[in-house]
């Protein structure tokens, strides 16, 4: 581009605002669907993608700040949020993934490439740098989704569902004038017959390889070194439930500032990494994650409560109470010269320290959002009682009762 009018600058700024908002909305929609995705490997990848989306949004918001747009969420097209709500009514995980990735994110990818190629290459080069930093990751996401949708839609009926849903999702994106907002607009399409939102999911889904149980595994005798090791690292794989709880907090807590979703997305992905921490150590010991019963009860009981209670119980009680056991485990593995286990536990301790700080930062803001009538300590005490009563993990219940 050889020249740029003031109107074009304003139009480009509006495009960047839409991009960052759509990245955030896509992450929240992934969060809402995360518990409803059964296939383990896909669930883990989605947990990473929702964090990657918020990182994309962060890059765009930083560029908007440089362009003197200090409040990127002000005066946004309300159709953006409505479009995401309409994409949420998918009835199958393969439809949800198709709509988010093959309709919305494919259009975002094309828009980023178009913007980077057509903007003023000198004056607006920081925008080009930001978009070029995002494009490879987003392209990899779309490629992944194409493969996953083909894998999941493995019957004629499922493939027809995908095609019908992609037509609908494409019409939803078109209804907001496309990703850039500069195309002719139309009314939002009517969803396929019988389609209504399944969110939030009351139960966390697992695929057919898992043996499902509600409760967690009992704590082994401390003298049983191998039993303790297998219990601890199979227990890490149960932290998928924490990731799913955090994902629902992202999807359900409306009206919070952008930084809240950024921190929750990081927290969610960390819990997915803890799952992989457990899987990695179990693999080194000759086991797979499906060798052990998979508990879903912790996710289930937390869904009985609103996002404030869920998040406070997780950060102020469950995670904060876990340090005693984790520090003693670290010392145990050091004494046994088990460096691999000791180092993995220490990385987890550092992550959990950050998560407790996230709770201290955001629980008071959630109290305002949900109009909690009491003081913070009253909420903490209430959540401790809830964990002590409802926890299906013996370690979590024991720690809550000990305080």
pLDDT, averaged in runs of 10, over the chain (403 residues): 65 97 98 98 98 98 97 95 97 98 98 95 96 98 98 98 98 97 94 96 97 93 93 97 98 96 98 98 97 96 98 98 95 96 97 98 98 98 97 91 82
pTM, rounded to two decimals: 0.96
Give the rounded distance of the alpha carbon of 72 from its chain centre. 22
CA distance linking residue 135 with residue 111, whole number of Å: 10
Token couple for 296: 């879903």
Residues of the chain with CATH 1.20.1260: 6-175, 212-402
Of 13, 50, 235, the C-alpha closest to 126 is 13
Between vectors from CA 309 to CA 311 and to CA 296, what angle results, nearest 5°? 70
Tell me the C-alpha distance between 152 and 141, whole Å.
16
Which has the closest alpha carbon to 392: 177, 181, 235? Answer: 235
Question: What's residue 2's pLDDT?
Answer: 45
- pLDDT confidence of residue 6: 61
| pLDDT at residue number 321 | 96
How far are the Cα atoms of 206, 211, 380 from residue 374, in angstroms, in the given order? 38, 41, 10
Pairwise CA distance, residues 148 & 392, whole Å: 33
Gap between the Cα atoms of 358 and 272, Å rounded: 17
Q: Cα separations (Å) of 26 from 163, 199, 289?
A: 20, 15, 29
Q: What is the pLDDT of residue 399?
A: 87
Query: How many Cβ atoms are within 10 Å of 341's Cβ, its own excluded?
Result: 21
Identify how many contiguous H helices and E strands the chain contains and give both numbers.
16, 2
- CATH classification number, 6-175, choose in 1.10.10, 1.10.20, 1.20.1260, 1.10.150: 1.20.1260
* CATH class held by domain 212-402: mainly alpha
Tell me which residue of 32, 94, 22, 34 sits closest to 272, measured CA to CA: 34
165 Cβ contact list (under 8 Å, min separation 6): 90, 95, 98, 99, 192
């Amino acid at each position: 581009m050889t020249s740029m009018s003031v109107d074009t600058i304003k139009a480009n700024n509006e495009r960047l605002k839409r991009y960052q908002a759509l990245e955030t909305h896509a992450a929240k929609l992934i969060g809402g669907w995360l518990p409803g995705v059964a296939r383990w490997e896909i669930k883990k990848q989605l947990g990473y993608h929702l964090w990657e989306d918020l990182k994309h949004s962060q890059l765009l918001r930083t560029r908007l700040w440089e362009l003197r747009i200090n409040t990127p969420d002000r005066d946004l097209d309300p159709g953006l949020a409505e479009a995401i709500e309409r994409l949420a009514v998918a009835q199958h995980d393969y439809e949800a993934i198709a709509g988010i990735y093959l309709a919305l994110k494919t259009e975002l990818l094309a828009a980023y490439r178009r913007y980077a190629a057509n903007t003023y290459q000198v004056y607006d080069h920081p925008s080009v740098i930001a978009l070029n930093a995002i494009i490879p990751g987003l392209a990899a996401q779309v490629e992944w989704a194409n493969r996953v949708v083909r894998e999941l839609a493995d019957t004629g009926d499922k493939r027809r569902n995908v095609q019908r849903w992609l037509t609908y999702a494409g019409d939803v994106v078109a209804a907001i004038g496309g990703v850039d907002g500069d195309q002719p607009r139309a009314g939002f399409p009517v969803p396929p017959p019988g389609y209504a939102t399944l969110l939030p999911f009351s139960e966390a889904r697992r695929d057919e390889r898992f043996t499902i149980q509600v409760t967690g595994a009992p704590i082994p005798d401390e003298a049983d070194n191998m039993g303790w090791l297998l219990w601890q690292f199979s227990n890490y794989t149960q932290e998928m439930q924490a990731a799913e709880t955090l994902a629902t907090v992202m999807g359900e807590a409306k009206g919070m500032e952008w930084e809240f979703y950024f921190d929750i997305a990081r927290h969610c992905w960390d819990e997915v990494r803890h799952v992989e921490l457990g899987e990695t150590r179990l693999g080194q010991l000759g086991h797979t994650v499906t060798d052990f019963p998979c508990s879903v009860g912790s996710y289930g009981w937390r869904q009985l409560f609103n996002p404030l209670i869920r998040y406070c119980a997780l950060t102020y009680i469950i995670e904060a109470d876990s340090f005693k056991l984790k520090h003693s485990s670290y010392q145990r593995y050091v004494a046994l010269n088990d460096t691999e286990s000791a180092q993995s536990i220490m990385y987890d301790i550092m992550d959990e320290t950050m998560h407790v700080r996230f709770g201290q930062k955001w629980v008071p803001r959630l109290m305002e959002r949900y109009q909690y009538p009491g003081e913070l300590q009253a909420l903490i005490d209430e959540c401790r009682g809830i964990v002590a009563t409802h926890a299906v993990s013996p370690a979590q219940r024991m720690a809550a009762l000990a305080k």
